[in-house]
Amino acid sequence: MLRSLVGSEMCIRDRGVGYGASYGRMREQLNFLAEELTISKFQNFVPAIQHEVRTFMKENWKEETGTINILEDMSAMIINTACQCLFGDDLRRKLNAREFSDLLAEMESALVPPAVFLPSLMKLPTPTAKKCRDARNRLQSVLGTIVEERQKEGSSDSNTSDLLNGLMNAVYRDGTPMSLHEVCGMIVAAMFAGQHTSTITTTWTLLHLMQPENAKYLKRVRDEVAEFGVQMNYDNVMNDMPFTESCSRESIRRDPPLIMLMRKVMENVKVGDIIIPKDDIIACSPLLSHHDAVSYTHLRAHETPEHLVCRLLLEKKKKKIIFIRKTILK
């Protein structure tokens, strides 16, 4: 069922990659990614992220006043940080972040709702499907050139996870190496998966904090960040900035980047008069659950982190969830 629901994203991942591959092959590809996306690797990302953010602001936000498109800027900046951290300095230098962002946006805009239930629509010669395929082919061409140059140079970046090098050297269980087409497809899949949610969360968080009524929260965030030196580390980001994290969580509550999440039920759960059996699959909608009038008093307000903590505890106590069972989706 899950594979049929995401089949509409074939134009993004392309045939033979991710959900466009057989289940066994897809699992191997995900394992290749997981081998590089570890906590020990993440701990090295903070300096690179700081450098990319500061460089982006210096190059693009030079004036004291002016007008910016914060969604477009956050998208480009996050692509820069992801490229640097995951794929190495050479791909970061050679990839045009704004072009990459625009191409991802073109592919995303082609994912029309009917295609979720009828993935074959993306194979028809429609303007929407053509737009998605053209953007995907352009990305394939750009990334293919960079990957081929890396193969010729035989270089890797020891200061990052260098996921690209890991994918280039990946070998399936049957002894077949990952092809150039598959390597590029996995790069697109990895970037699309993380860039989309990170961009939306970052944009909404900044927009809320910049509202006049939230000026005191912005001051607290800036004061909290200012407590650290010029160079932060992994522990600072993960453990020492609770207020900043709470502001981001409240932005996710109010404006969730994903409208549906597929989850496996690990044990029998009773919700009202319904018992959801173990191993069932449910589709949860944060857009609905996060705006439940019973749990949240001011649904559209960006409330204080203190209120958020209280609401989260209340929600856990009620064990309330809005969902769709797989039997309905079949």
Q: What are the φ and ψ backbone dihedral angles of 168, each rounded to 5 degrees?
A: -65, -30
pLDDT in tens, 128-151: 778 888 888 888 888 888 888 887
Q: Say what the pLDDT of residue 222 is.
A: 92
> Residues 6 or more apart from 291 whose CB is under 8 A from it?
299, 300
The residue that leads in pLDDT, 149 or 120, is: 149
Report the sign of the C-alpha dihedral through residues 74, 76, 82, 88, in that order. negative
> Concatenated DSSP letters for 128-154?
HHHHHHHHHHHHHHHHHHHHHHHHHHT
Residue 191, by phi and psi: left (phi above 0), alpha (psi -120 to 50) or beta? alpha
Give dist(CA 165, CA 1) in Å, integer. 33
Q: How many CB atoms lie within 10 A of CB 79?
A: 25
Average pLDDT of span 257-281: 86
Neighbouring-strand partners of residue 275: 270
Pick 230 or 223 by higher pLDDT: 223
DSSP 2-67: HHHHSGGGHHHH-TTSGGGS-HHHHHHHHHHHHHH--HHHHTTHHHHHHHHHHHHHHHH--SSS--
Residue type, 62: K
Q: What is the pLDDT of residue 328?
A: 33
Q: Across the chain, what does the average pLDDT equal?
A: 77
Largest CA distance in the chain: 63
Pick 326 or 303 by higher pLDDT.
303
**Interatomic CA distance for residues 279 and 274, integer angstroms:** 15
Instruction: Let me know: does 226 contact 206? Beta carbons within 8 Å.
Output: no
Q: Is 1 helix (H, G, I), strand (E, B) or coil?
A: coil
Question: What percentage of the chain reaches a pLDDT higher than 70?
Answer: 78
Cβ distance 237 to 46 under 8 Å? Answer: yes
* Backbone torsions φ then ψ of 276, nearest 5 degrees: -90, 115
Helix (H, G, I), strand (E, B) or coil at 82: helix
**Bigger pLDDT: 158 vs 103:** 103
SS3 231: coil
Weakest-pLDDT range from 22-26, 160-164, 200-204, 233-237:
160-164
State the pLDDT confidence band at 13, using cuts at 50, 70 and 90.
Answer: low
The mean per-residue pLDDT over the stretch 105-119 comes to 71
Q: What is the mean pLDDT of residues 158-186?
A: 81
The larger pLDDT score, comparing residue 95 to residue 243, is at 243
Please report which confidence band the pLDDT of residue 172 belongs to, taking 50, 70 and 90 as the band edges: very high
- Round to whole Å and give the CA distance between 36 and 38: 6
